Structure 1
Amino acid sequence: MQNHSINSLAIIVISSLLLSACSMSDWWNGHYATRAAFIDSMRKESAYYAAESPEQRELRRKNRLICDKETGYNRCMRRLGTPVWHDGLDK
């Protein structure tokens, strides 16, 4: 009788370990993939802003100071001709 209960307990313990291992790998892969995507996005953003000319940088800084006070930030940046927002959607 004890042998049967030990076998049952072993099956329960092993199955719970396997289930938790699967969920841990899913959590780790999701966490890692999200972090990798975030780091990649930050690198692209840094490269984009580093490639800007000094004139574009100055225009963006000046427009940001003006547009931070307005409610329609994106609309203001388009209207003032800031490079990223200058897509003709404000007309």
Structure 2
Amino acid sequence: MKSMADVILILKERNIMQIRIVKLRLLILTSIAIFLSGCSISDWYNGYYVERSANKEIQKKVDDYYNSESPQMQELRKQNQAYCLNLAAKPENRIAKDDYPNGLFNQPMFSRCMIDRGTPTYESYGGVLQRKHDEELRAKGKRVM
């Protein structure tokens, strides 16, 4: 017959083995749960992927807009851009805003200057087209809101 001490040692070894298996299973389950909750496919698709594809699409449209211009128009755009940037960046034309002691770059003035000089930027081009469309409708006698 086995002694009492041998029986106790055998039971402790079984307990230790069971605890190690349980700890290993708990570790695996916890790591899988953390991985799946932190990286869900819908978050990736709706966040990162959609934003990246939208940026690519808009950049392609911007490139198409500027590349479709004639070489003379591109040269005129460079001259107008230098002039309008200088005009909008002058200290007296800066937009006063709290927490900005030197003011902010006057983007509306830059856009208006580029439109007035005949080379609208891509961002302001949609507004130019809308104004032309509204003028055409007014010329036909239709009301435009």
Q: TM-score, normalised by structure 2?
A: 0.45
Q: Provide, for residues 12-47 of structure 1, a one-character-per-residue CA deviation record: whole Å limited to 9, x for no partner.
A: x75884574254124321111111111111122112
Give the Cα–Cα distance (whole angstroms) in 2 for the partners of residues 81 and 43 of structure 1: 23
Once residues 78 and 67 of structure 1 are traced to their aligned partners in structure 2, the CA distance between those partners, rounded to angstroms, is 10
C-alpha distance in structure 2 between counterparts of 1:25 and 1:36, whole Å: 19
Where does residue 70 of structure 1 map in the other structure? Answer: 87
- Measure, in 1, the Cα distance between the counterparts of 2:52 and 2:29: 31
Corresponding letter in the other structure for 2:53? A
Q: Which has the higher contact order (CA 8 A, sep 6+)?
A: 1
Gaps (5+ residues) in structure 2?
1-17, 89-108, 132-145
CA distance in 1 between counterparts of 2:67 and 2:115 reads 21
Separation (CA, whole Å) in 2 of partners of 1:22 and 1:47: 41
Write the distance in 2 (CA, Å) between the matches of 1:62 and 1:73. Answer: 13
Residue by residue over 1:56-79, the C-alpha shift from the partner in whole angstroms, topping out at 9 and shown as x without a partner, is 211211100100112221121122
Residue in structure 2 matching 1:24, options 26, 39, 47? 39
- Structure 1 residue 38 and structure 2 residue 55: aligned? yes
Mapped partners of 2:74, 2:112: distance in 1: 19
Matched position secondary structure for 1:69 = helix
What number of residue pairs does the alignment pair up? 88
Rounded Cα–Cα distance in structure 2 between residues aligned with 1:22 and 1:41: 32
